[in-house]
Amino acid sequence: QKEVEQNSGPLSVPEGAIASLNCTYSDRGSQSFFWYRQYSGKSPELIMSIYSNGDKEDGRFTAQLNKASQYVSLLIRDSQPSDSATYLCAALTNNDMRFGAGTRLTVKP
């Protein structure tokens, strides 16, 4: 089974706070990992990708990967109301891309 699991939330943080989103995956053969943001009624859009253990930073976003623990996370610093969306974690195993159920984030002004 190639499962990707996320806390469904909802997660609510005040504006300016750090939002922390977590994801675990079951297939140790998974090579690459992705965080997508999805606004209601829209298609997913890529936020971050990561394939090496450690941290990867891009602006206010930091992705963390721990392959030994099969764990991926996304930190959003200085959260803005515009960050309110559902965040989907995905794992790529060979050519098979699987998604978690998503975590709904609300950033309150």
8's torsion region: left (phi>0), alpha (psi -120 to 50) or beta?
alpha
> Using CA atoms, how far apart are residues 53 and 50, in angstroms rounded to an integer?
8
Q: Is 11 in the site for another protein (CB under 8 A)?
A: no
CB of 92 to another protein, least distance (A): 8
Footprint of another protein on residues 34-93 (CB under 8 A)? 34, 42-46, 49-51, 88, 90
Q: Is 10 in the site for another protein (CB under 8 A)?
A: no
Q: Is 102 in the site for another protein (CB under 8 A)?
A: yes
Phi, psi of 85 (to 5 degrees): -175, 180
Q: Is 101 in the site for another protein (CB under 8 A)?
A: yes
Cα 57–39–13 angle (5° rounding)? 60
Q: What sign does the dihedral 15-109-45-37 (CA atoms) show?
A: positive
CB of 57 to another protein, least distance (A): 15
Residues at the interface with another protein (CB under 8 A): 2, 4, 6, 32, 34, 42-46, 49-51, 88, 90, 95-102
